[in-house]
Amino acid sequence: MENIKPLRSNSFKKSNVINLEKGKLPPQAVELEETVLGAMMIDKKGIDDVIDILHPEAFYKESHQAIYSAIYTLFQNSEPIDLKTVSNQLRKDSKLEFIGGDFYLIGLTQKVASSAHIEFHARIILQKFIQRKLITISSEIIEEAYDETKDVFDLLDDAEGKFFEVTQGNLKKGSEDAASLVQSAIKKIEEISQKEGMSGVATGFTKLDALTSGWQPSDLIIIAARPGMGKTAFVISMAKNMAIQFNHAVAVFSLEMSSVQLITRMISSETGISSGKLRTGSLEPHEWEQLNVKVKNLTKAPIFIDDTPSLSIFDLRAKARRLVSQHDVKLLVIDYLQLMTAGSASNGNREQEISMISRNLKALAKELNIPVIALSQLSRAVETRGGSKRPLLSDLRESGAIEQDADIVSFIFRPEYYGQTEWDDDEHSSCEGQGEFIVAKHRNGGLDNIRLKFTGALAQFSDLEEGFGTEFQSKMNTIPESAQHVNPSDAFGDDGGEVPF
């Protein structure tokens, strides 16, 4: 259970003034509070049913908050919980006289005979607390709305953030002590061990998942490349893997391509029918049958696409909160970062604007506790540089803050794009039909260059089979003929950029 930061005293003052003016008392269930506390002191089962639902501030009476805090302290220390141990803990906390002494505790235990229905009672107490919190937040918003010095968009964002916290049942957290954090960490390690080492959201790319243990909650991941390298193709392949193979909900914010164009790419990848044929609709009868059968998995996939152009960081936060709340989205993808705007916070300096956007993306990842992936363009220095065209961290476009804020910075590199037929670090290995996912910064893990198979006609990345570089042509025989013989413009534009279909 997470510790909850107590409401600010001035918040209570504002709320109470408004309530007194209306002649109303705040929502409360004092009798149920007494019943729950009494049941927890006489029946261990009652503790197990309630401890993950309630927190001290959920109780209306301050004396009940103190009693529950004492019970929770005993629970954390794995000590017995009964009338005497709770009384002793309250004495240690110098709160026994405050709550009314042993006489009050005895009265609580005499009001119940068992812990029957205690979970139902606890949820009513929580509902009353949420009602009180909503009243407090609404009072604050009303007062701030009268303040002419407040930016209206900042006010909207702040209001939505507060309501989102209530929706999640996870109000602003205070600091946590080492003991509770160690317990949380051990519990997470135990959960990871049951998932065979996959602590994050699996991507479906074997070597990448082995390196990262999946994309980790609260991480900001930057995937950068020059136009035409396949940034969108990579995240679309990944999103499809996550949604279809692992049933993880994924949200894609596409600022460059329309939602129909993106889903068409997924259809091409899933069915094995070239994007060129899908664009023109010139499918053979067996391909129509193939389309109708293989697209069924995609129709059931929990993928959400938003193609709002020039999306501001303010709008993104609002939409992301709703998607996480309503659909339990496990990953956010932004395609791509340089097309976002800072909204009302823009000051005309593009580098500072990008810095502000990247900071907010990292803050959003932490707030929602999910990984956020942002695609990014690289500077033209890659094209003008002699020798190897493999991208470097210094090639990130417009702001060094992107590298600073990101937990993982990665690049997509396809030597074939520059006319190379062999890898520059292995002259005997063909690079045809391959791409490299370069992990150049990894805050919590190692670095690596991971080679993947790339099928341009399907705009698809997939795991690279052993020996693929030396047996490229034989592998091509497994790809449908319609996907092999395709004009390069089916996958990429005349300018080398990715073409939206």
Give the catalytic positions in this structure: 256
Q: Which residue has the tokens 């119940």?
A: 112
The DSSP-derived string for 20-51 is HHHT-PPP--HHHHHHHHHHHHH-HHHHHHHT
Distance (Å, whole) CA 247 – CA 228? 29
Sign of the dihedral through C-alpha 222, 224, 227, 233 = negative
Sign of the dihedral through C-alpha 107, 109, 113, 116 = positive
Distance (Å, whole) CA 254 – CA 337? 10
Residue 317's nearest CA partner among 175, 158, 492 is 158
DSSP-based three-state secondary structure for 146:
coil
Q: 267: how many CB neighbours lie within 10 A of its CB? A: 18
User: Is-contact 366 218, C-beta < 8 A?
Assistant: yes
Distance (Å, whole) CA 59 – CA 410? 47
Residue 411's nearest CA partner among 444, 381, 375 is 375
Residue type, 423: W
Whether the link from the prior residue into 418 is cis, omega within 30° of 0, is: no
User: Is-contact 319 164, C-beta < 8 A?
Assistant: no
The burial of 130, by beta-carbon neighbours within 10 Å (0-12 exposed, 13-18 middle, 19 or more buried), is given as: middle
Residue 446's nearest CA partner among 408, 405, 404 is 408
The DSSP-derived string for 304-324 is EEE--TT-BHHHHHHHHHHHH
User: Is-contact 93 20, C-beta < 8 A?
Assistant: no
Measured between alpha carbons, how far is residue 356 from residues 68, 199, 281 in Å?
Answer: 42, 29, 43
